[in-house]
Amino acid sequence: MKKFLLLIATAVIVLCSCSTEFNPNDEWEETMVVYGLLDQDCDTTWIRVQKCFLGEGNSFAYAHIMDSSVYAPDDLAIRITEWYAEERNGVLVKTVLTGQVFDFSYKMLTDKPEGDFFAPNQPVYYCRTKGKLFPKRIYELEVKNTKTGKSVKSETSLIGDGIQVKHPLNVFQFKDNRNSSCIVRWTVDYDGKARVFQPVVRFFYLERDKANETEIPVLKYVDIEGDVYRNIGNNNQMQGDFSKSEFGAMLKEKIGVDDSKQRLMADSVQIFIYAADENMSNYMSVSIPPTSIVQERPVFSNIDGGLGIFASRRTKIKEKKSAPTSPTNDYRKFIESLGLGF
């Protein structure tokens, strides 16, 4: 959920950028901000909807007031409709309805961390979609305010199969030199719909209290995220790397030092490949922090009648790779050198 909220926050920040043609105290007009990702590998699809707000004073103060930017639980009707589709001139086009629809329910989550926007409550809409979403079909989203009649629409298709980890073959490890890296290489989806990829290594470990050596160790894990890579040249295969130094730094940050704990390395890691489509790639490109003093930023949105993003993502690979636990192995020596109790 943290990444979900970060992208929502980024969207609203972009919408609040300065413009000489915008009067912040003009007459208010309802504008929906929608964020949603379809992922056939996930159990549940989540949709976040909020409204733009105007007012005198500091906009960041308004952002901390939930009533300024959210709808009441019974204000919105959210539905995704499934269409059959066919490819025409390289573009997937809707043909006829399949008859399958997904109606979303309101839920108030209470675990949002503090940030630029209100917390810890966060209203979202959800629907169980596991096993019901299919590539080569188009999914049309409609969000309607049942009180005012205002509605917005968007559509997306799904990322297909074909994403597979090709390297490392069996073992995830680093060489003994200080600046070495572990290369992760993967194939892309068959239809080339995915445009951005992010490899993630899930590091497993066992933990128990030092004061109780008879205690059965608890299996835990942390996710070490790699960089985001864009498939600009329609490559069939891509790769990323996890440098030894950065991997160690992220482990130290996420696991932390705790002298009361005894930790043991697990004998494997999992490698995930996250993929997203062209719309998500474009959204991410304009939402990253500016690197110049020019603050005018383009706004990317594929929400018809509103603002935000409705796109597809794929959580595709969960392959296990062994992780050496021999006392003489360089990988184990490296993990032990981090001072985390291994």
pLDDT at 290: 59
pLDDT at 20: 34
pLDDT at 153: 96
pLDDT at 34: 93
The structural domains of the chain, with segments of one domain joined by +, span 2-158, 164-275+317-336
pLDDT at 294: 57
Which range (114-123, 149-158, 177-186) has the least confidence?
114-123
pLDDT, tens digit, 9 for 90 and up, residues 194-249: 999 999 999 999 999 988 888 899 999 999 999 999 998 888 999 999 999 999 99
* Alpha-carbon distances of 9 from 54, 171, 255, 321, rounded to whole Å: 16, 38, 26, 35
Cα–Cα distance measured from residue 12 to residue 258, given in angstroms and rounded to the nearest whole number: 38
How far from the centroid of its chain's Cα atoms is residue 237's Cα?
A: 22
Cα–Cα distance measured from residue 324 to residue 268, given in angstroms and rounded to the nearest whole number: 8
User: What does the mean pLDDT of the chain come to?
Assistant: 83
Contact between 48 and 35 (Cβ < 8 Å): yes
Sign, CA torsion 220/36/62/299: positive
Structure-derived torsion over alpha carbons of residues 287, 288, 289, 291, reported in degrees to the nearest 10: -120
Confidence grade of residue 109 (pLDDT, cut at 50, 70, 90):
confident
Convert 200-212 to b/e letters by CB count within 10 Å (16 or more is b): bbbbbbebbeeee
**Which whole number is the average pLDDT over 143-151?**
94
Convert 76-102 to b/e letters by CB count within 10 Å (16 or more is b): bebebbbbebeeeeeebebeeeeeeeb
Tell me the whole-structure pTM to 2 decimals.
0.80
pLDDT, tens digit, 9 for 90 and up, residues 308-326: 999 999 987 788 999 998 8
DSSP summary character for residue 171: B
Which range (3-7, 51-55, 113-117, 266-270) has the least confidence?
3-7
pLDDT, tens digit, 9 for 90 and up, residues 18-57: 333 445 455 667 888 899 999 999 999 999 998 875 555 5
